[in-house]
Amino acid sequence: MRIGLVSDTHDNEPLVRVAAAFFRERQVDLVLHLGDVCEPETLALLEGLPVQAVRGNNDLGHALPDSWQSTLAGVEVFAAHGHVPAPLRAAIGRVGVALHGHTHKRRCETIDGTLVVNPGALHRAQVKSVALLELPARRVDFFAVDEAGARPMGASP
């Protein structure tokens, strides 16, 4: 299963369009938006893709859940924005993959058997990025995103 990961888009319409085209090209099975969508119209740019989003600290007024959890390809996956750290901390060690945003920094590390991933951000990041998560392999590939497209940055260790 291939999952597109995006976070902290902050209404950056041009880069959300690039990310959406990239996810369509890569034929993802699901897009997880890890919060700070900001305006609901931003999610509409992902139209035609299966999307699950969680609420970030800049998503006031959104009808988005604070967190999301599901079993995908046999792997328990937890997602939250991360601005409230307790739910993310509680997930580590009890799920296979824990996803978050908020810091605008790419992250991929294993803690207590849980793969912890932040895809980076499409706003206020030196290098804007998204990620692809392959399950059940738990492989993560990061992609730099600019108005010209998305290009590989490398795989997780």
* CATH topology for the 2-155 domain: Purple Acid Phosphatase; chain A, domain 2 (3.60.21)
Of 126, 90, 88, nearest to 106 by C-alpha is: 126
pLDDT tens digit sequence for 44-59: 999 999 999 999 999 9
Query: Residue 18 — φ and ψ, nearest 5°?
Result: -65, -45
Note the pTM of the prediction, 2 decimals: 0.96
pLDDT tens digit sequence for 7-23: 999 999 999 999 999 99
| Mean pLDDT, 10 residues at a time, the chain of 157 residues | 98 97 98 95 93 94 92 98 95 98 97 98 96 98 96 74
Q: How many helices (H) and strands (E) does the chain have?
A: 3, 11
